[in-house]
Amino acid sequence: MGYSKDQLLARLKELQIDFSQYEHPVVLNVEAQAKYVGNMGGALSKNLFLKDKKHRYYIVSALADTKVDMKVLSQRLGLGKGGLRMAPEEALGEILQVPLGCVTPFAVVNESASHVSLLLDKGLKTQECCFFHPLSNDMSISVNVQGLDKFLKSIGRDPSYIDLEANPLVGKDQPPDLAVLVPSGSTVLPDFPEKAPSLQDSTGNVSAGNNSASAKAVKPSVNVQNVKKKSVDGQRPSIPSADAGKFVEELLDRASALLLSEISEDSIKQHGGLLGAEVANNFRKCLTEDLKNLATIFKNTAYTEGFYAGTHYQTKRP
Amino acid sequence: MEKKEDNQQEEEQVVNPWEVSGKDGGKIDYDKLIDKFGCQKLDQSFIDRVERLTSRPPHVFLRRGVFFAHRDFNEILDAYERGDKFYLYTGRGPSSEALHLGHLVPFMFTKYLQDAFKVPLVIQLTDDEKCMWKNLSVEESQRLARENAKDIIACGFDISRTFIFSDFDYVGGAFYKNMVKVAKCVTYNKAVGIFGFTGEDHIGKVSFPPVQAAPSFPSSFPHLFSGKDDLLCLIPCAIDQDPYFRMTRDVAPRIGYHKPALIEASFFPALQGETGKMSASDPNSAIYVTDSAKDINYKVNKHAYTGGQESMEKHRQYGANLEVDIPIKYLSFFLEDDAELEHIKKDYGAGRMLTGEVKKRLIEVLTELVERHRTARAAVTDETVDAFMAVRPLPNMFD
Residue A86 resides in a domain? yes
Distance between B139 CA and the closest CA of chain A, angstroms? 15
A14 shares its domain with A110: yes
Q: For A148-175, write each residue's pLDDT tens digit.
A: 888 888 887 888 888 888 888 776 666 6
Quick one: B178 and B96 in the same domain? yes
Query: Which pLDDT score is estimated for A67?
Result: 86
Of B156, B160, B378, the CB nearest to A303: B160
Both A70 and A148 in one domain: the answer is: yes
Q: Is residue A191 part of a domain?
A: no
B391 part of contact set with chain A, CB < 8 Å: no
Q: Say if B386 falls within a structural domain.
A: no
Determine how many CB atoms are found less than 10 A away from the CB of residue A187. 10
Whole-Å CA distances, B11 to A69, A223, B48 = 54, 50, 38
Please name the residues between 139 and 168 in chain A that touch chain B, using a CB distance below 8 Å: 165-168
CA distance linking residue B262 with residue B69, whole number of Å: 8
Say if B382 is an interface residue toward chain A (CB within 8 Å).
yes
pLDDT at B291 over 80: yes
Quick one: A259 and A167 in the same domain? no
Average pLDDT over residues B122-131: 97
Q: Which residues of B touch A65 (CB under 8 A)?
A: 290, 292, 295
CA–CA separation, A75 and A84 (whole Å): 9
Q: Which residues of B touch A46 (CB under 8 A)?
A: none
Closest-CA distance of chain A to residue B365, Å: 12
Residue B87 half-sphere exposure, CB side, CA atoms within 13 Å? 27
Interface touch B386/A228, C-beta < 8 Å: no
* A120: three-class secondary structure by DSSP: strand
- Domain co-membership, A36 together with A177: yes
Q: Which domain holds residue A284?
A: 244-313
User: DSSP string of B310-351?
Assistant: SSHHHHHHH---TTT-HHHHHHHHH---HHHHHHHHHHHHHT
**Residue B276 falls inside a structural domain:** no
- Per DSSP, the three-state class of A143 is strand
Determine, for residues B392 and A238 on separate chains, whether the beta-carbon distance falls below 8 Å: no
Q: Which residues contact A60 (CB under 8 A, 6 or more apart)?
A: A47, A48, A50, A68, A73, A119, A121, A164
Q: Is A29 part of any domain?
A: yes
**What is the per-residue pLDDT for B276?**
63
Q: What is the pLDDT of residue A240?
A: 57
Please give, rounded to a whole number of angstroms, the shortest distance from the CA of A228 to a CA of chain B. Answer: 6
Whether residues B303 and B362 fall in one domain: yes
The answer to whether residues B145 and B186 belong to one domain is yes
A251 and A120 fall within a common domain: no
B250 within domain boundaries: yes
CATH number at residue B369: 1.10.240.10
B116 has a chain A CB within 8 A of its CB? no
- The CATH number that applies at residue B62 is 3.40.50.620
pLDDT computed for residue B319 by the predictor: 87
- Judged against a pLDDT cut of 90, whether residue B363 lies above it is answered with yes
Among the listed ranges A269-273, B91-95, B193-197, B355-359, which one has the minimum average pLDDT value?
A: A269-273
B340 and B199 together in one domain: no
- The better pLDDT of the pair A84, A225 is held by A84
- Measure A296 CA to nearest chain B CA, in Å: 6
The whole-angstrom distance between residue A162's C-alpha and the CA centroid of its chain comes to 11
Give the residue, B199 or A198, on which the prediction is more confident: B199
Q: CB-based contact (8 Å) between B378 and chain A?
A: yes
CB < 8 Å to B335, chain A: none
pLDDT at B310: 86
- Do B164 and B313 sit in the same domain of this protein? no
pLDDT, mean of residues A83-101: 86
B258 and B320: one domain? no
| Dist CA A140 CA A160 (whole Å) | 23
Chain A residues lying within 8 Å of B156, measured CB to CB: 292-293, 296
In this structure, the answer to whether residues A268 and A157 fall within a common structural domain is no
What mean pLDDT do residues A90-100 have? Answer: 86
Q: How far apart are CA B107 and CA B138, in angstroms?
A: 25
pLDDT digits over B132-159, tens only?
999 999 999 999 999 999 999 999 999 9
Q: Do residues A276 and A150 both lie within one domain?
A: no
Instruction: Examine the pLDDT at A209 and tell me if it is beyond 80.
Output: no
The predicted structure's pLDDT at residue A234:
33
* Average pLDDT score over residue span B89-102: 91
Which pLDDT does position A318 carry in this prediction? 57
First to last CA, chain B: 44
**CB-defined contacts A:B, below 8 A:** 88
Query: Is the same domain home to B165 and B40?
Result: yes
Does a structural domain hold residue A203? no
* Residue B115: inside a domain: yes
Alpha-carbon gap, residue B299 to B243, rounded angstroms = 34
Give the per-residue pLDDT at A166: 84
Say whether A293 and B378 touch across the interface (CB within 8 A): no
- Using a CB–CB cutoff of 8 Å, tell me whether A81 touches chain B: no
Q: A11-62 pLDDT, tens per residue? A: 888 888 888 888 888 888 888 888 888 888 888 899 999 988 878 889 999 9
Distance from C-alpha of B58 to C-alpha of B50, rounded to nearest angstrom: 7
> Is residue A18 located within the same domain as residue A161?
yes
Confirm whether A236 is domain-assigned.
no
Is A99 within a domain? Answer: yes
Which of A65, A228, A303 is closest, CB to CB, to B378? A228
**Contact residues, chain A, for B384 at CB < 8 Å:** 300-301, 304
CB pair distance less than 8 Å for B290 and A297? no
Return d(Cα B194, Cα B180) in angstroms, integer.
18
Nearest to B379 among A123, A240, A292 (CB): A240
**B237 plus B97 within the same structural domain:** yes
B347 found inside a domain: yes
Q: Tell me what ipTM this predicted complex has.
A: 0.83
**Strands (E) located in chain A:** 19-23, 43-52, 57-63, 84-86, 117-121, 130-132, 139-143, 161-162
The DSSP-derived string for B194-255 is HH---TTS-HHHHT-HHHHHGGGSGGG-HHHHTT-TT-EEEEEEEGGGHHHHHHHHHHGGGG
CA atoms of A56 and B26, how far apart (whole Å): 58
Please indicate whether, in this complex, the C-beta atoms of A238 and B382 are within 8 angstroms of each other: no
The answer to whether residue A122 sits within a structural domain is yes
Integer Cα distance of B297 and B299 in angstroms: 6
Question: What pLDDT is attached to residue A90?
Answer: 83
Q: Are residues A256 and A114 in the same domain?
A: no
Do A30 and A135 fall into the same domain? yes
Backbone torsion region of residue B243, taken as left when φ is above 0, otherwise alpha when ψ lies between -120 and 50, otherwise beta: alpha
Looking at the complex, report in whole angstroms how far the Cα of residue B254 sits from the nearest Cα belonging to chain A: 40
Same-domain check for residues B213 and B316: no
Final residue in a domain of this structure, among B239, B271, B303: B271
Tell whether B395 is covered by a domain: no
Strand order in the sheet with B121-125: B40-41, B67-71, B261-265, B232-238, B86-92, B121-125, B162-166
A223 touches B: beta carbon within 8 Å: yes
Tell me how far apart the alpha carbons of residues A81 and A70 are, in angstroms, rounded to a whole number: 9
A196 Cβ neighbours under 8 A, 6+ residues apart: A88, A89, A90, A206
Q: If we measure between CA atoms, which residue out of B152, B147, B172 comes closest to residue B162?
A: B152
Identify whether residues B170 and B261 lie together within a single domain: yes
CA B80 to chain centre: 23
Whether A170 and A63 map to the same domain: the answer is yes
Residue whose C-alpha is closest to residue B207's, from B171, B166, B161: B171
- Tell me: do B172 and B259 sit in the same domain: yes
Is B109 within a domain?
Answer: yes
Say how many domains are in chain B: 2
Averaged confidence pLDDT in chain B: 91
In a domain, A211, yes or no: no
The residue among B212, B205, B210 whose CA lies nearest residue B184 is B210
Number of domains in chain A: 2
Out of B158, B160, B375, the one facing A223 most closely (by C-beta) is B375
Is residue B283 situated within a structural domain? Answer: no
Using CA atoms, how far residue B9 sits from B25, B37, B266, in Å, is 12, 16, 21
B279 vs A291: which has the higher pLDDT: A291
Say whether A303 and B293 touch across the interface (CB within 8 A).
no
The verdict on A173 and A39 lying in the same domain is yes
Cα separation, B121 vs B86, in Å, equals 9
Domain identity same for B308 and B265: no
Secondary structure of B346-376 in the HEC alphabet?
Answer: HHHHHCCCCHHHHHHHHHHHHHHHHHHHHHH
The residues in A 7-36 lying below 8 A from B, measured between CB atoms, are none
- Top residue of B97, B383, B397 to mutate, by most chain A CBs within 10 Å, is B383
Q: What is the number of other CB atoms lying within 10 angstroms of the CB of residue B256? A: 10
Q: Which residue is closest to A165 within chain B, CA to CA?
A: B378
From B208, B210, B220, select the one nearest B245 (Cα to Cα).
Answer: B210
Helix (H, G, I), strand (E, B), or coil: what is residue B187? coil
The CATH number that applies at residue A55 is 3.90.960.10
Nearest by CB to B371, from A166, A168, A223: name it.
A223
| Cα-to-chain-centroid distance, residue B45 | 23
**pLDDT (mean) for A261-286:** 86
Rounded CA gap, B80 and A221, in Å? Answer: 42
* pLDDT tier at B75, thresholds 50, 70, 90: very high
Q: Phi and psi of A111, rounded to 5°?
A: -55, -40
pLDDT of residue A171: 66
Q: In the structure, how many helices (H) and strands (E) does chain A have?
A: 10, 8
Residues B334, B66 contacting (CB under 8 angstroms): no
Residue type at position A141 = I
Q: Does B371 sit within 8 Å of A231, measured CB to CB?
A: no
| pLDDT tens by residue, B254-281 | 999 999 999 999 989 999 887 766 766 6
* H or E segment to which residue B40 belongs: strand B40-41
Contact B148, B107 (CB under 8 A): no
Range of the domain at B21: 16-271
